[in-house]
Amino acid sequence: MPSGIYKHKPRISKSIEKDILKLYKKNYNGIQITKTLKCSIGTVWYYFKKNNIKIKYKRNPKYPINSYAFSKYTPEACYWAGLLAADGNIYHRKDRNAYILQIPLQDRDIGHLKEFIRFLKTKRPIYKTPNKTHLVLIENRILCMDLMKNFDITPRKSLTIQYPTQIPERFNKCFIRGVFDGDGCLHKAKADNQLYFKISGASLPFLQKIQEILINRCSLNKTKILKNKQSNCYSLIYSGNKQVPRIMEFLNVPFSLQRKNIN
């Protein structure tokens, strides 16, 4: 399976391999096979690679797209780049020097994926996977190169991503809100009736820069960013019925994921 694209552990079984190859010979593509067999795309690509089947990405001229959506810093571009920094990834196909952008979201957030599609001014399809997610795949060199240049979103970014300090200061709130909508959560604890705000990630410097901005803009104290020893991830957490509303007020942008607002 190509590294960097939709990571799921493959189902290892002779019967699933036989079924995948049978459908491939009938000219089924990867997505069609996942829907038919109810397996992950990772499983399909695992057996494609094992059987020396070249993975193809079909370029479809029916779906024009705004390739320059991330060429300039705008509130929406910064928001969606933040979401991609959290939940998306860029895959580099070295065999043909192609760049592919993907973003999977939970089934309940399919409406938000549609907003992303509208932002890109395209009608690209959204694929339903067997893993309770919906997925957008876009092969577009300009789009990916702008995300790398302007927002530091690179292939295999999880551990290496740095906060894109080149973003205009007035748009930091949009980028951070995108990150929060992807890798953050907001809840009220029953034990103490306090609001809790959290953003998690694998890059400590990335979270430290977000914390620095929130401290300056929301009058917060510096807290320790916690490390989860089991997952090797870090969590930036703030609590309190005064602090958290200040953070959410700062991060209030019209194109955000509404279910993550304070009700």
Q: What is the pLDDT of residues 54-96, one digit of tens each?
A: 766 555 557 899 999 999 999 999 999 999 999 999 988 887 7
Q: Across residues 148-155, what is the average pLDDT?
A: 94
pLDDT of residue 7: 43
Domains of the chain, first to last: 1-56 (1.10.10), 75-151 (3.10.28.10), 169-257 (3.10.28.10)
Beta strands 133-139 and 98-106: pairing type?
antiparallel
Q: What is the pLDDT of residues 171-215, one digit of tens each?
A: 999 999 999 999 999 999 988 899 999 999 999 999 999 999 999
Cα distances from 221 to residues 21, 105, 211, in angstroms, run 58, 32, 10
pTM of the complete model: 0.80
pLDDT of residue 27: 85
Q: What is the pLDDT of residues 210-259, one digit of tens each?
A: 999 999 999 999 999 999 888 889 999 999 999 999 999 999 999 999 99
From the number of C-beta atoms within 10 Å of its C-beta (0-12, 13-18, 19+), residue 192 rates as exposed
pLDDT of residue 2: 39
* Cα gap 247→215, rounded to integer Å: 9
Contacts 24+ apart (CB under 8 A), 184-188: 184/86, 184/260, 185/260, 186/244, 186/248, 186/260, 186/261, 186/262
